[in-house]
């Protein structure tokens, strides 16, 4: 099997979404408000400004083709955004000499934000986008106004931006402080996560108990362990390493496993009911009689694909492996093909 991807253009560990697809990630809508939309620029600037959407549209418009790379391993090439360049807005406000960082803050119930070094924001030509492919940006994708940061994982591109704050010292954003996301986020250096949330000792004790329920276990390493019957309902195990682990009969219902590695793991009879499996690597895993009903699978993979498009280490399914058609539709075209073959035949072709 071949996939039409240019390996030089796809950062390591990423896969292309099916053509025309653009997943929604994170919040789906801004916080409710009666106030008309405006963007204010504040902090270390000579003259703070507030721009309405018509004010922004009256400024010089910039069109940009951007390759989107989400930290959960899906990428989308050639997304065409247009709007106003951050540097144009900063020129209007005048930046103070002590400004070193810039934070983008959303009109959001959880006060979502993300920050960048000011120099990076200038070098990367950050855009405040109002349009996608010539149409006003959909609300779910951050309309009426979102940041677009080319060359960084997409979590740096804040949806529903209403405040831009210039700062002498950095202030970590929402994902960066709450979920261990890397603050630089360069996809070419795979800067996805910082290190884990618990010590090696604590991890040993937990592995002995085989009870991970409701725990925050970012980046935990249980590779090559025998944890048969593990209870991990609602555990937060983003970026966990479970390569080659023996996990028969384990329960990961409603767990957050985004970007976890299950390469070659024994997952027979495991329940992943309603789990977040975005970006998970199941290549070579044994998923016979596993239940993935209701799981979210954007960016997940069930086999390895090399730079030439050659498929290897395909996962194992049997007739009782459960996976919804809707979940399969979220996979890349090639992964969809592999999973549909697995579902039909109970094994790899
Ligand atoms: N306000 C806000 N902005 C956000 C997020 C969010 O949850 N809230 N998620 C980030 C992440 S992780 C990604 S991948 C992109 C997703 O944008 P999309 O839903 O338009 O694909 O938005 C980023 N900006
Ligand atoms: Mo993301």
**Which residue's alpha carbon is nearest to atom 5 within ligand 1?**
26
Quote the pLDDT of residue 203.
Answer: 87
Taking the C-alpha atoms of residue 84 and residue 231, their distance in angstroms, rounded to an integer, is 49
Quote the pLDDT of residue 293.
Answer: 97
Taking the C-alpha atoms of residue 253 and residue 182, their distance in angstroms, rounded to an integer, is 27
**Which residue's alpha carbon is nearest to atom 11 within ligand 1?**
155
Per-residue confidence band for 3, with pLDDT thresholds at 50, 70 and 90: very low
Nearest ligand 1 atom to alpha carbon 106:
1
The average pLDDT across 209-219 equals: 92
Quote the pLDDT of residue 256.
Answer: 96
Quote the pLDDT of residue 1.
Answer: 38
29 CB near ligand 1 (under 6 Å): no
137 CB near ligand 1 (under 6 Å): no
159 CB near ligand 1 (under 6 Å): yes
Rounded to the nearest angstrom, the distance between the alpha carbon of 178 and the centre of ligand 1 is 15
Quote the pLDDT of residue 306.
Answer: 82
CA dihedral 5, 8, 10, 11 (to 10 degrees): 160
Rounded to the nearest angstrom, the distance between the alpha carbon of 255 and the centre of ligand 2 is 18
**Which residue's alpha carbon is nearest to atom 24 within ligand 1?**
158
For ligand 1, pick from 115, 131, 142, 259 the residue to mutate: most ligand atoms within 8 Å of CB.
142
Quote the pLDDT of residue 6.
Answer: 58
Per-residue confidence band for 145, with pLDDT thresholds at 50, 70 and 90: very high
Give me the residue label for tokens 């070579």: 284
Contact indicator for 279, 73 with CB cutoff of 8 Å = yes
The average pLDDT across 119-146 equals: 97
229 pLDDT exceeds 80?
yes
pLDDT tens digits, 250-305: 999 999 999 999 999 999 999 999 999 999 999 999 999 999 999 999 999 999 98
The average pLDDT across 147-152 equals: 98
Give me the residue label for tokens 């930290």: 71
**Which residue's alpha carbon is nearest to atom 17 within ligand 1?**
25
Quote the pLDDT of residue 348.
Answer: 47
Rounded to the nearest angstrom, the distance between the alpha carbon of 76 and the centre of ligand 1 is 14
Joined tokens for residue 207: 């592995």
Quote the pLDDT of residue 85.
Answer: 98
2 pLDDT exceeds 50?
no
Quote the pLDDT of residue 349.
Answer: 43
Per-residue confidence band for 67, with pLDDT thresholds at 50, 70 and 90: very high
The average pLDDT across 165-177 equals: 91
70 CB near ligand 1 (under 6 Å): yes
Quote the pLDDT of residue 347.
Answer: 53
Q: Are strands 113-117 and 127-132 parallel, antiparallel or unpaired?
A: unpaired
The average pLDDT across 59-81 equals: 96
H or E, element range at 77: strand 74-85
How much is the pTM? Answer: 0.76
Quote the pLDDT of residue 8.
Answer: 85
**Which residues, 6 or more positions from 275, have their beta carbon under 8 angstroms from its beta carbon?**
252, 253, 254, 255, 256, 257, 292, 295, 296
154 CB near ligand 1 (under 6 Å): yes
Using CB atoms within 10 A of its CB, is residue 34 exposed (0-12), middle (13-18) or buried (19+)? exposed
Rounded to the nearest angstrom, the distance between the alpha carbon of 155 and the centre of ligand 2 is 5
Judged by average pLDDT, the poorest of 20-24, 113-117, 156-160 is 20-24
Handedness of CA 119, 120, 124, 126 (dihedral sign): negative
Contacts for 340-347: CB closer than 8 Å, 24+ residues apart: 342/302, 342/314, 342/315, 342/316, 342/317, 343/317, 346/317, 346/318, 346/319, 346/321, 347/316, 347/317, 347/318
Phi, psi (degrees; rounded to nearest 5) at 87: -60, -35
pLDDT tens digits, 323-348: 999 999 999 889 999 999 998 886 54
List the helix and strand counts (H, then E) for the chain.
7, 13
For ligand 1, pick from 14, 17, 25 the residue to mutate: most ligand atoms within 8 Å of CB.
25
pLDDT tens digits, 172-208: 899 998 778 999 999 998 899 877 767 778 889 999 9
298 vs 6: which has the higher pLDDT: 298
Taking the C-alpha atoms of residue 309 and residue 5, their distance in angstroms, rounded to an integer, is 8
**Which residue's alpha carbon is nearest to atom 23 within ligand 1?**
155
54 pLDDT exceeds 70?
yes
7 pLDDT exceeds 90?
no
Taking the C-alpha atoms of residue 346 and residue 207, their distance in angstroms, rounded to an integer, is 32
């Amino acid at each position: 099997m071949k996939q039409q991807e240019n390996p030089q253009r796809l950062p390591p560990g990423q896969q292309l979404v099916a053509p025309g697809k653009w997943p929604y990630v994170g919040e789906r809508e801004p916080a409710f408000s009666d106030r008309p939309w405006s963007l204010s620029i504040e902090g270390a600037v000579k003259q703070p400004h507030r721009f309405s959407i018509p004010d922004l549209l009256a400024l010089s418009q910039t069109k940009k083709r951007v390759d989107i790379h989400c930290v959960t391993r899906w990428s989308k090439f050639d997304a065409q955004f247009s709007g106003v360049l951050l540097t144009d807005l900063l020129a209007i406000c005048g930046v103070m000499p002590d400004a070193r960082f810039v934070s983008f803050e959303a009109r959001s119930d959880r006060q979502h934000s993300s920050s960048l070094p000011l120099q990076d924001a200038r070098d990367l030509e950050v855009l405040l986008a109002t349009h996608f492919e010539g149409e006003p940006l959909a609300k779910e994708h951050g309309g009426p106004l979102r940041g677009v940061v080319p060359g960084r994982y997409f979590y740096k591109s804040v949806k529903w931006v209403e405040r831009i704050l210039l700062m002498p010292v950095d202030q970590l954003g929402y994902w960066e402080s709450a979920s261990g996301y890397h603050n630089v986020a360069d996809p070419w250096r795979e800067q996805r996560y910082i290190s884990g949330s618990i010590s090696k000792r604590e991890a040993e004790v937990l592995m002995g108990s085989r009870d991970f329920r409701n725990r925050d276990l970012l980046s935990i390493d249980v590779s090559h362990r025998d944890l048969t019957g593990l209870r991990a309902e609602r555990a937060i195990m983003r970026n966990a390493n479970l390569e080659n682990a023996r996990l028969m009969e384990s329960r990961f219902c409603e767990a957050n496993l985004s970007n976890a590695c299950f390469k070659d793991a024994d997952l027979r009879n495991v329940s992943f009911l309603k789990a977040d499996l975005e970006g998970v690597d199941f290549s070579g895993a044994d998923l016979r009689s596993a239940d993935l009903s209701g799981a979210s699978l954007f960016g997940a993979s069930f086999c390895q694909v090399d730079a030439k498009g050659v498929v290897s280490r395909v996962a194992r399914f049997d007739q009782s492996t459960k996976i919804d058609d809707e979940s399969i539709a979220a996979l890349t075209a090639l992964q969809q093909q592999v999973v549909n073959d697995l579902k039909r035949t109970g094994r790899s072709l």
